[in-house]
Each structure stands twice: as C-alpha cells, then as structure tokens.
Amino acid sequence: MTEPPRIVNLSPRLSRRALLTGSGALVLGMHLPLLGAGEAEAAIGTNSLVPVNAWLKVSATGVSVVSPASEMGQGVFTALAQLVAEELEIDWTSVRAEMAPFDPVYANPILGGMRSGGATSIRAWFLPMRKAGATARQMLKAAAAQVWRVSPDSLVLTTGLISHPPSGREASYGALAQVASRQKVPVEPPLRDSGRWTLIGRSLPRLDSPDKVTGRAIFGMDVRLPGQLYAAIRHCPVYGGAPARLDDSALKTSGGGYPAGVTAVVTLKDAVAVVAENWWLARSALARVAVAWAEGANAGQTSAAIDAALVRALDPKDPRAVAIAVNRGDADRAIAGAAMTVEAVYRQPFLAHAALEPINATASVTASDCELWLPTQDQGQYPRLIADALGLRPEKVRVNTTYVGGGFGRRFEADVGLQAALLSKAVGKPVQLIWTREEDIRHDYYRPASISRVALGVDVLGRLTGWRHRVAGPSILGRVNPGAIRDGVDKTAVQGIADQPYPVPALHVDFVRAETGIPVGFWRSVGHGANGFVVESMIDEAAAKLGRDPWRFRRGVLADKAPRALRVLDLAAEKSDWTTPLPAITGARRGRGIALHEAYGSVIAVVLEVSVFHDGRLVLDRAVAAFDCGQMVNPDIVSGQVAGGLLFGLSAALTGKITFERGRAMQSNFQDCRALTMAEAPPVEVHLVSSDEPPGGVSEAGVPPAAPALTNAIFAATGKRLRALPVLDFDLRDG
Amino acid sequence: MVSLTVNGKTVSVETSGDTPLLWVLRQHFKLQGTKFGCGIGQCGACTVLVNGAVVRACSVTIAAVDGATVQTIEGFDNGGDAIAERVKAAWIAEQVPQCGYCVPGMILSTVALLRKIPNPTDTEIDGAITNLCRCGTYDRIRKAIHRAAAGGAAP
C-alpha cells in the first residue's frame, strides 16, 4: 500500500501565538508586527508544519487541518478538513487532519464549549471552518505579496503553490507559512460560491481510514508516556455509595508490602483503585483487595420499584410536579371532539452506551500542572474541574484528545479523567486508568428509563386534531446542568414531541421529573430516541385503528404542511417497494414497518422488513432509509452514519436494557448487555435526498426511527403492538 | 519464561503465566493494534491469529501460547500477506471504518476466513465474523469482504 496521508492525532501543543483567546470568536491569529522584508525572505523555506492560524498548519508538502471536534467515528476530521481545504486551492491528497489541543478558541459555537456531540459539528463549523480556510488563503497571498513586493492581485494560487506569473516566481504554501501567520487577519474574507465547490459535497475517502486499518490509530488506551503506570478500578456497586473499609491483607506479601510491580492501593470518593506497572497486574491485585461499601441511599433500589415509581409519577399527587413544556390550543377538547382517538402508555428501559473502547484516561500530574490524554467529547470541562480537585490553576491543565473508540454521549462525562488525575497525583507518576467492561456497564450514565402516556385525536379527514403527551422519568439536565431546566422542564426529556413533523393544531406536552437514584446521561439522540419511538408508535396505532395503510395514513397527516418530511417518507416507501406485498416465507409472518422523524434540522424515514417465525424467532430482513440533512459535506460519510445510527437504535430496541436489584445493575458485559451482531443486522440501504437546506445534524439522526420502524413491522407481521422495549422481552410466538 | 513467535519474530517474556495474551501483546511487546474491548472473548476487538486460527487474545493465557505462532495486525505492515493487503485495501475502498476500534480484530477475522474460504457466502461470513461493531458498519464490512474475495473488484 502506498503511504497514506497520516493523521497526527497527538498533536504538539500549538504555540499561544497561533491561538485565539475568547470563546467562539473567529478572529484568527494574534496581531504581531509584520516582519521586515529581510526577515520574510529568511523565513521562506521552512519545511515543518507551521500554523498559519488556529485551524491550519502548512508544510512544504501539504496542509494539516486542526479539528476542534473529536473524531469518534462520525467522520468529522475528514468533513471539517474538506471545509477548510475548499477555500485553499490545494490538492486533496496533500490534506491531513489532526486534533486540536484544548483551547477556548475551539469552543463549539452551538454547544458553547470545546465539545463534540448533539450532531452539531457540521452545523456549528460549516461556516467557521470555511472562513478559516479563506482567511489562511488571504494571509498566504499577503505573505507572498510582501516577500516579493508585488500586488496581491497579481498572484495566482494553484494546488498548494502561489505564483507570480509576471516574474515567474513561485513558492509553496509551506514556504510562506511563517510569514503568512504574521499577516493582518482579514475580517470577512470572501467565500467561494457553493456553485464552485470542488470538495464540499464530494464523497472523499476518510482521512482516518489508513491509520485505522493498520492498527496505528492512537486511541486513549494506546497512549504511552515515559514512566507510565496503569490502574484498575472497582466502584461501589451502588451509585452514590462509598468505600467504608478496605482490607488489602490478601494482597500483601509476607514482608508486609505489596508484591513487585504493585505501586499503590488508592481510595477514591466512590471507588478503590490499584496502580501497578502494567494493567493486568493492577487488575489482578485489585481482585485481592476486599472492600466493605457504605452503599448509601440507593442500596434498596429495584427495577420493579422504579417502574412503580414512574407509573405513580404519571399522576402525581401534587399538581405542581407537572411541568408544562408546550400548551398550544385546547388539546383535551380537540381530542374529545375527534372522530377517533387513541390513548396508550409506553415504557422504556435504562440503556447503557457500551462504546467498544472501554472507559479510560491517562494523566500526568506534577506539583504545578496536569496533562491529560483521553478519548473525550468534552475537553472544555476539564481545566476547571481538575484545577479545583488538585489545587492547580485551570491554565495549568492541558487536555489532549485521542481517537475516540465510540462516544455515543458517554464521553461527555468527566469521571474517568478526574480519577486518572487523582491517581497520578497519588503516585507521582503518569497513570493510565482503564475501566473493565463490567465497570463500564454497571457504572454508566444511562439513557433514562421513562414512561409516557399519550392521547391523540384524528378527524374524519385523517388529520390530527389534538395531542396530549406526558413523560415521566429522571432528568439528564437535572444532573449535568440544573441551570438549564426551565420552569421544571428538562427539554431533553420532551425532544421530538412538540417538534414532531406532523402538524398538530392543539398540543399539550408536559414532564414529571421522577428521580430513581440511577444516574442518567446523554445517549446518542438523547430524548429524540425515546420520544421518536412513542410518537411513531402512536401514529401507527392511529393508522391501525382506522384500518389505514401506515404509509398513506402518514401522508394524510402530514398533508401539505411538511414537504421535506413527505419527500423522505415517499422515498423510503418507494425504495422499499412498500406497495408490493412481501413474498411469503414458510413458517414466518412477515411485515413492514415505517417510521418518520425530524431532528437536528434533518428528516429521516425508515422502512424495516421483518419475519417473525412461528417459534418466536425474529429476523430483520431489510432496512431502507431516506434522509434529508440539507447540504452535505461528504455524502458517503452521511450514508455510513445513517446506517450506523439505525443499527445502534435497532440494537437497543431489540435487546437493550439495564435492570437493577439491590441498587446494582444486573448486566455487566456483552453476554447480557447484548449488541447487534453481523448475522443479526439487516442489510441497510440509505437514500440521500439532495437539498439546498442549511446543513443539518447527521450522526444521531438514524437512531430515533429505528425502534418504531421495528415494532411497527412486528405489529404488521403479528398484530402484536409492543408498548415497551426491548423487543426480546416479548413472546412473539403465534397465538 | 514463555517463548513464542510474534509476527515472524521469536520473542520471550517473563510474566505470570495467567496473564492474557492480549496484555502481553499490548504492554510487553508494544503491539497496540490489538484492542481490549470486553475481556471475556465476546466482542473480538482483541482478535489475533494463533497458529493461523482466530483467537480472542483476552481469553487465552500467555502460558497457553508457549511455542505458538501469533499474528497481529502489525504483522501485516510489511505488505507480504496478499490476502491481508486485499482486505485492508477493501476496508478503505468500502470506507468501512467509523470509530475504528473494532477494525484490527475484524481484519484478522476476515483474513482467517478468506484463507479458509476464498469466496465466502453471506452465511459463511455471518458464521465467521462474530466480532462486534458498535458503530454499525456491518453492511460495509460484508461488502469489503466480498470485494477482498473478488481480488479488489467492487462486489
């Protein structure tokens, strides 16, 4: 294989000069005095990667785009590089990408910190990264003009070279980078018109693939520092509990010390860790440490009690417990007066993330500073957090991001980075902390379990008259950002209800917060995943009650009010041969389910075909998705994300649940926290709608329609309406 | 002291015999393309070839591979394995990797499959590739396997 463009993942820190201060502002470079002509001449010829601004480094042989977003599989390195390179007149094969170190300049304009999530990266960076490229282009031009003492207008840029045709002079971007970085930063550089784009909108190969197929990609666990030690950890089995007594006598040698290679046993707030010279040794030593836990208030919690509490929360004794999210028109009256009504209660379990790379972080703490290396979606939270815990100043905390072996929202959590820092401080050496898979599944911040009660009304024309929707469950924002709760409403708990694609004249949505003692967090598509299941199940119930075809019924409900939604709905129906009956399979009942969802400025429709065998076996035969995310940067990456999101959602809908007894998660690894396998996954077709709408979110969009497409298909095949998940909890045998 | 051949080189290691092969590869031999995923042989992120057979390196002890021949993803770096070269090229042609964490193990499993069955059916692929991909790239993995089997042509 030819040597591919390498991604420099663990980038050396940018000099402050190249960075900006002030979050979100897109001012490039600090204003240093311009070089004198002689100095400029001297600077030409630099061969190493030189930052032109915070977003771009240039060498004689190519450019490296600095990504403010973590690469966790969503293809963001490649897509953001396309945006910058579009404005640069550069050969794509000379473009690389690298991860930005933590700096406030890299704050995601939508999320307000250096974070990657919420399907925001393209939406947030679509304009800023193009501006970064255009700015760099202007500065390179200005540099050449200064050095050659010619007018910038007389310069020509082609594939990484600047030339001055009248004099025949020519220089690479790399040769001019040093000088360019000291040019005045243009405020509003002209951007290339979309009609002239040559990179945006093309399915260029991902920049990270070559490193990933050779095993060279550096994930969190692959970080190696001189003198690094390794740590294994065991948390209190109950969330909120703490170590009470620790007995390490079984670990000690006859001399009274720890065995060779074992450095320390460290007690943390809610866990005990062993630090050793390698991870297996740490893990084996930890197994010999006995811990008595003060299990705390959640020690008696069970799934049965949680379910009962959620049911009670649907009808709280104190009406002030009900927080109204949306109240438009008179939903009760609109439903009461409807030609047909449907009312149902839906339940969903806690879900674990189970990204394939277990939770880990590496920290190096000295008396005066801390440096972290980890796969994270939220670099920005660390400086303050670690500084507070370690008694350092925040600017003394540096955060380096590795490739992320799956994020799915789990890596917004700060737990492991902080633990690694505390362990490194305790032993005075760099420490890599790796959680086992069991620790990950048992100590996740789960997608909330919830219960929803919905009533809807349909008029004689098949249109919605009113919709009443109550969600009861724990609050994610209540844990991670209580200040974001408005009038009692956690907006993540009601996502996908008020903003469903179907026009609803009278709508009432409310939320009853019911905490269970189980920690909850962001899980790919957050509230859209849970509520998408409920909304699309309810629409399907209405179609069934009216005896209408589910696709045609949805078309009628949408009417002419949601053209984008109608377009993907029709496309999914067409590509899935919706109107052609499924061929019979001996011993099986077959059915198709359809689901539609709108979120992140994108809209998706999915048709799933299933066979349910008489013995209850379920086979997912085929999935067809139609997707409109507005303007696309890289359609092939979009397609892969949609397919992946769909399978992520199907995996959860089929088998996903975390249950609790005595406050303990009852699942612990892939044998009981199952993930969809190759043999179980259906073939997925993704059909992309080309669109001039602004770019929408992609990476989470495939999740919400997955569960309802599946359960609607099961209903079509068997007549069984599943109002809870996962599917494998249900008996699908005949009768 | 355990001696084995890793990627064509004879190496030996002094460690507790119950240490899983995975951790010896990653920590003693610095072969970090082999990934830790579950520790119980379920996910396949740690898949390597031992005497040519697919093995979950997290679930076999170093003592059990004394004298054996082990191949990891780094063993394909020299370009000398024609099947591995086709598989890696197919992974790129089909743009399989997302997060990429499962990829080395998937590629090892695929190489072993194609050595045994040069042109596998979908059923044979399903039977052989039991590695997990949480990003959901299975469709492209299947296409990449067919492409590699076809010598690099699109399936």
Q: Give me the domains of chain A, ranges plus CATH numbers.
A: 16-211 (3.30.365.10), 220-296+359-434 (3.30.365.10), 305-350+447-729 (3.30.365.10)
Report the gap between the CA of A163 and the closest CA in chain B (Å): 35
Q: Write down the pLDDT at residue A53.
A: 87
Of A74, A205, A670, the CB nearest to B92: A205
Structure tokens at A713: 């298909």
Does residue B12 have a pLDDT over 70? yes
- Is the omega angle on the peptide bond into residue A726 within 30 degrees of 0, that is, cis? yes
CA dist A634 and A241 (Å) reads 46
Q: Which residues of B touch A209 (CB under 8 A)?
A: 91-92, 95-97, 100
Overall pTM surpassing 0.90 (yes/no): yes
Does residue A3 have a pLDDT over 50? no
Helix (H) or strand (E) holding B81: none
Burial class of A91 by CB neighbour count within 10 A (0 to 12, 13 to 18, 19+): middle
CA dist A203 and A215 (Å) reads 24
pLDDT in tens, B113-153: 999 999 999 999 999 999 999 999 999 999 999 999 999 88
| Residue of B24, B138, B143 to mutate when probing chain A, most A C-beta within 10 A | B138
Report the gap between the CA of A436 and the closest CA in chain B (Å): 7
CA dist B60 and B10 (Å) reads 19
CA dist A644 and A503 (Å) reads 29
Question: When comparing pLDDT for A132 and A13, which is higher?
Answer: A132
Q: What 8-state DSSP symbol labels residue A588? A: E
Chain A, nearest residue to B135 by Cα: A644
Asked if A403's CB is within 8 angstroms of B136's CB, the reply is: no
Chain B, nearest residue to A375 by Cα: B99
Average pLDDT over residues B12-16: 95
Helices assigned H by DSSP within A274-363: 279-287, 303-314, 331-336
pLDDT in tens, A560-582: 999 999 999 999 999 999 999 99
Q: Write down the pLDDT at residue A12.
A: 30
Asked if A75's CB is within 8 angstroms of B32's CB, the reply is: no
Does residue A26 have a pLDDT over 70? no
Of A356, A651, A676, the CB nearest to B101: A356
Structure tokens at B21: 């092969």
Does residue A19 have a pLDDT over 50? no
Q: Write down the pLDDT at residue A690.
A: 87
Asked if A221's CB is within 8 angstroms of B136's CB, the reply is: no
Q: Write down the pLDDT at residue B153.
A: 83
Q: Write down the pLDDT at residue A52.
A: 85
Reference A358, options B45, B25, B55; nearest CA is: B45
Q: Which residues of A touch B37 (CB under 8 A)?
A: 356-358, 437
Report the gap between the CA of A576 and the closest CA in chain B (Å): 17
Q: Write down the pLDDT at residue B154.
A: 81
Does residue A9 have a pLDDT over 50? no
Q: Write down the pLDDT at residue A117.
A: 96
Burial class of A260 by CB neighbour count within 10 A (0 to 12, 13 to 18, 19+): exposed
Burial class of A395 by CB neighbour count within 10 A (0 to 12, 13 to 18, 19+): exposed
Q: Write down the pLDDT at residue A328.
A: 97
Q: Are A648 and A718 in contact (CB under 8 A)?
A: no
CA dist A489 and A145 (Å) reads 57
Task: Label residue A295 by pLDDT band (50, 70, 90).
Answer: very high
Crossing angle for the helix pair A415-427 and A382-390, nearest 10 degrees? 40
pLDDT in tens, A391-407: 999 999 999 999 999 99
Does residue A21 have a pLDDT over 60? no
Asked if A355's CB is within 8 angstroms of B99's CB, the reply is: yes
Asked if B136's CB is within 8 angstroms of A651's CB, the reply is: yes
Chain A, nearest residue to B91 by Cα: A213
- How many pairs of residues across A and B have Cβ atoms under 8 Å apart? 176
Percent of chain A with pLDDT over 70: 94
CA dist B109 and B99 (Å) reads 18
Chain A, nearest residue to B131 by Cα: A677
Task: Label residue A40 by pLDDT band (50, 70, 90).
Answer: low
Q: Write down the pLDDT at residue B152.
A: 84
Q: Write down the pLDDT at residue A183.
A: 93
Of B42, B97, B135, the CB nearest to A669: B42
pLDDT in tens, A667-690: 999 999 999 999 999 999 999 998
CA dist A342 and A462 (Å) reads 13
Q: Which residues of A touch B95 (CB under 8 A)?
A: 203, 205-206, 209, 636-637, 640
Task: Label residue A47 by pLDDT band (50, 70, 90).
Answer: low
Q: Are A173 and A94 in contact (CB under 8 A)?
A: no
Report the gap between the CA of A219 and the closest CA in chain B (Å): 8
Report the gap between the CA of A556 and the closest CA in chain B (Å): 33
pLDDT in tens, A229-268: 999 999 999 999 999 999 999 999 999 999 999 999 999 9
CA dist A114 and A23 (Å) reads 9
Q: Are B138 and A681 in contact (CB under 8 A)?
A: yes
Q: Are A377 and A407 in contact (CB under 8 A)?
A: yes
